[in-house]
């Protein structure tokens, strides 16, 4: 593919970079684009794995076909099977009409399965068979349908660790990870911060019809020194907050009190929260509950906004509210 097309696509997807680490990841994306290899994208939440998957699709010979994205954590096991394989009318209660699954919709194109680490072992077996045979059957049908797509999966989890804990199938892992590409965290590519900050300020100003004329020095210091544990997604949310809370075109320190304080507050809270060593699973559960409680409090209980900010479905938020008894 001519370099000119690559550069056009990089501008289109806002992937222009000065970071050697990110440039290497993009180079790998370009090299796998015209192959049949199954690609696993790894990296922290919010670092741009879905954008990378769309870039792979756009660079390759399948770019004229469908790109189909599925967030595996957004569905129950039963619903995910129906979403992927499809079902026939009357195949189960509530199946009022035939549903074409994502496997078929992505035929000759690209199927992107995000949060692949959240798949149940049972679903992994079914997907493994479909990938090995390149055939699927809709729920309620015995008719085999041929499938042909490039599979791209993504996770922010340590899959080898999950394999050791018998939470992820080793054979399925090797099937989906012919090529593994790590997307670097934003703190690992700070060379790109100036361009990303400029891009998001312009974009969000246009969307909200607000003009920003100046940033206080404290705001600038924050933007260029913060580590962004939520990566690009967090950067976008921070700048959106700044633009909306600006006064007379000026972003002051008032726009980021919680941003400065959250890290310190969590550190201060840590000693009291964990007086003794607990299992990693217990720690994750406790931390998730506390952070979700914090987010809902900041957003005055607005579940729809929490869903958007956390990149979770509203159903997932409601389930966690019930699970952690937050209401």
State yes or no: pLDDT of 257 exceeds 50. no
Length of the chain: 327
| 8 A C-beta contact, residue 39 and residue 56 | yes
Calculate the average pLDDT of the chain.
Answer: 88
**Rounded-to-integer distance, Cα 31 and Cα 20, Å:** 16
State yes or no: pLDDT of 299 exceeds 70. yes
User: What is the pLDDT, as a whole number, of residue 238?
Assistant: 92
First-to-last alpha carbon distance for the chain, in angstroms, is: 55
Confidence grade of residue 43 (pLDDT, cut at 50, 70, 90): very high
Alpha helix locations (H) across the chain?
A: 3-12, 20-32, 49-59, 77-85, 102-105, 121-133, 159-164, 170-176, 193-208, 217-225, 231-244, 257-273, 280-298, 303-310, 314-323
User: What is the pLDDT, as a whole number, of residue 258?
Assistant: 58
Percent of residues, the chain, with pLDDT higher than 70 = 91
CATH, range 188-323: 1.10.8.60
User: What is the pLDDT, as a whole number, of residue 2?
Assistant: 54
What residues have CB less than 8 Å from 284, skipping those under 6 apart? none
Confidence grade of residue 266 (pLDDT, cut at 50, 70, 90): very low
User: What is the pLDDT, as a whole number, of residue 61?
Assistant: 94
Locus of tokens 């949060």: 115
pTM for this entry: 0.77
pLDDT digits (tens, 9 = 90+) for 84-124: 999 888 777 777 788 899 999 999 999 999 999 999 999 99
Alpha helix locations (H) across 245-325?
A: 257-273, 280-298, 303-310, 314-323
Dihedral, CA of residue 277, residue 280, residue 282 and residue 285, to nearest 10? 130
Asked whether the CA dihedral 81, 86, 87, 92 is positive or negative, the reply is positive
User: What is the pLDDT, as a whole number, of residue 50?
Assistant: 96
**Rounded-to-integer distance, Cα 231 and Cα 204, Å:** 17
State yes or no: pLDDT of 263 exceeds 50. no
The arrangement of secondary structure in 3-184, i.e. its CATH architecture, is 3-Layer(aba) Sandwich (3.40)
Could you tell me which residue, 2 or 180, shows the higher pLDDT?
180
Q: Which H/E stretch holds residue 109?
A: none
CA distances for 194 relative to 82, 190, 235, 244, angstroms: 44, 8, 12, 20
Q: Specify the domain boundaries for CATH 1.10.8.60 within the chain.
A: 188-323
């Amino acid at each position: 593919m001519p370099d000119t097309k690559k550069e056009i696509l990089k501008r289109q997807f806002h992937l222009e970079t000065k970071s050697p680490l990110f440039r290497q990841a993009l180079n790998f994306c370009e090299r796998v684009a015209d192959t049949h290899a199954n690609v696993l994208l790894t990296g922290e939440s919010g670092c741009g794995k879905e954008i990378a998957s769309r870039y792979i699709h756009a660079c390759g010979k399948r770019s004229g076909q469908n790109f189909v994205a599925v967030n595996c954590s957004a569905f129950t096991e039963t619903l995910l099977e129906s979403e992927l394989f499809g079902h026939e009318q009357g195949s189960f209660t509530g199946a009022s009409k035939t549903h074409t699954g994502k496997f078929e919709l992505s035929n000759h194109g690209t199927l992107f399965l995000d949060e692949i680490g959240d798949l149940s072992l049972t679903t992994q077996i079914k997907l493994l068979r479909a990938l090995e045979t390149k055939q699927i059957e809709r729920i309620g049908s015995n008719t085999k349908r041929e499938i042909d797509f490039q599979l791209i999966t993504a996770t922010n989890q340590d899959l080898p660790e999950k394999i050791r804990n018998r939470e992820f199938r080793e054979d399925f892992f090797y099937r989906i990870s012919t090529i593994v590409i790590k997307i670097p965290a934003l703190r690992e590519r700070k060379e790109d911060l100036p361009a990303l900050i400029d891009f998001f300020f312009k974009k969000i100003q246009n969307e909200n019809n607000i003009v920003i004329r100046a940033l206080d020095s404290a705001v600038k210091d924050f933007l260029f020194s913060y580590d962004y544990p939520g990566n690009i997604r967090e950067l976008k949310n921070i700048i959106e907050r700044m633009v909306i809370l600006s006064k007379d075109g000026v972003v002051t320190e008032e726009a980021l009190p919680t941003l400065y304080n959250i890290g310190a507050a969590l550190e201060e809270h840590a000693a009291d929260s964990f007086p003794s060593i607990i299992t990693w699973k217990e720690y994750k559960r406790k931390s998730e509950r506390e952070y979700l409680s914090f987010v809902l409090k900041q957003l005055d209980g607005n579940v729809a906004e929490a869903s958007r900010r956390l990149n979770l479905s509203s159903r997932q938020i409601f389930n966690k509210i019930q699970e952690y008894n937050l209401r």
